Amino acid sequence: MTQPEDESEDAALRRRRARAIASVIAAAAAFAVAAGLVKWIAPAIPTMQIVFFRSVVSLLALTPMIRREGGLKVLATRRPGWHLLRTLAGFGGMFTAFYGYARLPLAEVTALGFTMPLFLTALSIPLLGEKVGIRRWSAVIIGFLGVLLILRPGAGAVPLGAAMIVVSGAVCWAIAMIAIRRMGEMGESSVVIVAWFSIGGTLLAGTLTALVWVTPDPMQLAVLVGIGLVSTLAQLLMTEAYRRGEASIVAPFEYTGIVWTTLIGLVVWGERPAPTMLTGVAMLVASGLYILHREVARRRRG
């Protein structure tokens, strides 16, 4: 009797993992589509206004979830400082990514976003008091060498100013992730964290958008709403992936995003990644996966 039950449990676990992997691949594809839409509309609409529409649509999509969780009372928090840090950092990461999509090849922006785990490792020392061993530091160094290959300084192939803005956004995302991790340890729910980020991002983007507002035509409005909807779908798929599967299994498939953005950039804009860039991406992915491996191993020992 025990063996069939064990086999049934193993089959259920495999199905959950398969669904988690499928969800994260679909999320990466959806994020790539959103990036393509941002790049397509960026010449006509200011970056800040694109961020505003993305934030508004996400907040509207989140409203039914807040109602199901009990309405506005679920927004009660005793961690306003951490929410403020998460909102400002997340907003900076979103704006710089959108800025990069408008000015750089899609695959390059995606690849530079892969530096986030490197900054997360470095910042976890002063902000979370974690200890980072020589092996994780080695992975960080290899990752940054990969960044140099992507940027190809001195070769004149990459607008370094725009690229460094995108990299600064990766620092922002790392700070946002640290804030999320810290609030999770303090018992703050995912709904509260996401809700306050959506509210704060909408208010901040709305205030700044008033300075650069461009009235969109019907097609542009449809694209702006589409960016918000596709991004929200991607977030839901990513959340579902991590809910169903272990991070050590799910996270590596986030790197399929470079495949999707490369394909979109090639087909729509004729963007062909240089061999040195592909080598740099491989180094970044390898370092990120190793950092993930060491993080999982550290938590299991803890």
Contact 238, 194 (CB under 8 A): no
Q: How much is the pTM?
A: 0.87
> So what's the pLDDT on residue 154?
56
Number of separate domains in the chain: 1
Whether 181 has a pLDDT exceeding 70, the answer reads yes
pLDDT in tens, 130-152: 778 888 889 899 999 999 888 87
Whether 295 has a pLDDT exceeding 80, the answer reads no
Burial 77-89 (b: 16+ CB within 10 A, else e): bebeebbebbbbb
pLDDT in tens, 153-172: 655 566 888 999 999 999 99
Match 């020992």 to its residue by tokens.
Answer: 301
> So what's the pLDDT on residue 158?
66
Cβ-Cβ contacts under 8 Å for 132 (sequence gap 6 or more)? 121, 122, 124, 125
Distance (Å, whole) CA 26 – CA 35: 14
Distance (Å, whole) CA 172 – CA 96: 9
Nearest Cα to 45, choosing from 213, 210, 205?
Answer: 213
Whether 86 has a pLDDT exceeding 60, the answer reads yes
Instruction: Tell me the pLDDT band of 202, cut-offs 50, 70 and 90.
Output: very high
Mean pLDDT of all residues in 197-217: 94
Whether 1 has a pLDDT exceeding 60, the answer reads no
Q: Is pLDDT larger for residue 115 or for residue 66?
A: 115
Whether 260 has a pLDDT exceeding 90, the answer reads yes
Mean pLDDT of all residues in 99-117: 92
What is the span of the domain harbouring residue 230? Answer: 2-301
